Chain A
Amino acid sequence: GNSVTQMEGPVTLSEEAFLTINCTYTATGYPSLFWYVQYPGEGLQLLLKATKADDKGSNKGFEATYRKETTSFHLEKGSVQVSDSAVYFCALSDLGNTDKLIFGTGTRLQVFP
């Protein structure tokens, strides 16, 4: 079945460091891919999305490219800030059942000044 695998956290970085959070997926067909962010004590916010191969989603300095050949959707940011500290969830839309989002386990990012 469809699934999403994210790197284990926490990821701990100093401010202005480069961020990569790995996400790979298993899916039949051509799912849409998403990154959601959850700040402490809050709900999920859509960070970015990509709907087809080679699409790049970007928002707030974060970006991710839909790579069909490697079944990956890695999240990157060139210079993180303390305010980026949160949990990041990679997700795909389950095309066999379009109501469902398949989430990864989440990766906690901690950025220190």
Chain B
Amino acid sequence: DTEVTQTPKHLVMGMTNKKSLKCEQHMGHRAMYWYKQKAKKPPELMFVYSYEKLSINESVPSRFSPECPNSSLLNLHLHALQPEDSALYLCASSQDRTGLTDTQYFGPGTRLTVL
């Protein structure tokens, strides 16, 4: 089973709201990722967690706050977003960050609209 699940599937929020995106995998993977994808563009890496520790932050604004409560769960907390943050947010996982042939498996994404 190579399933990564994400909730919610769709989210509409105002610029003053606080919301969270959730991602879960039960493959025993120890690396998890958040990507942002705008329409007709490839995914852009935002954050990487390895063994539940943040290992990469691609200069993402502080209004996005990731959290990895355990090895199976990854959250993305959202606060004071801007309309330009509207996008598809994808979660992915891979076995670990040290393997040279690690394959990333993606979830179905959360489509976020910021009004």
Tell me if chain B binds chain A. Answer: yes
Which residues in A have some Cβ–Cβ distance to B below 8 Å? 32, 34, 36, 41-46, 49, 51, 89, 93, 95, 97-101, 103-106
Most buried by B among A36, A43, A45, A103: A43
Q: Can you offer 7 A-B residue contacts whose CB atoms are under 8 A?
A: A32-B101, A43-B6, A43-B88, A46-B103, A46-B104, A93-B102, A104-B42
Task: Identify which of B13-21, B63-71, B76-84, B92-100 touches chain A.
Answer: B92-100
Which residues in B have some Cβ–Cβ distance to A below 8 Å? 2, 6, 31, 33, 40-43, 45, 48, 50, 55-56, 88, 90, 92, 97-109, 111
Contacts of B103 in A (CB 8 A): 32, 34, 46, 49
Closest 9 CB pairs of A and B: A103-B42, A44-B106, A43-B108, A43-B109, A99-B48, A51-B101, A43-B106, A32-B101, A99-B97
> Is B105 in contact with A98, judged by CB distance below 8 angstroms?
no
A22 to B101, CA, bound (A): 22
Which residue of chain B has the shortest Cβ distance to A29 in the bound complex?
B100
Contacts of A51 in B (CB 8 A): 101
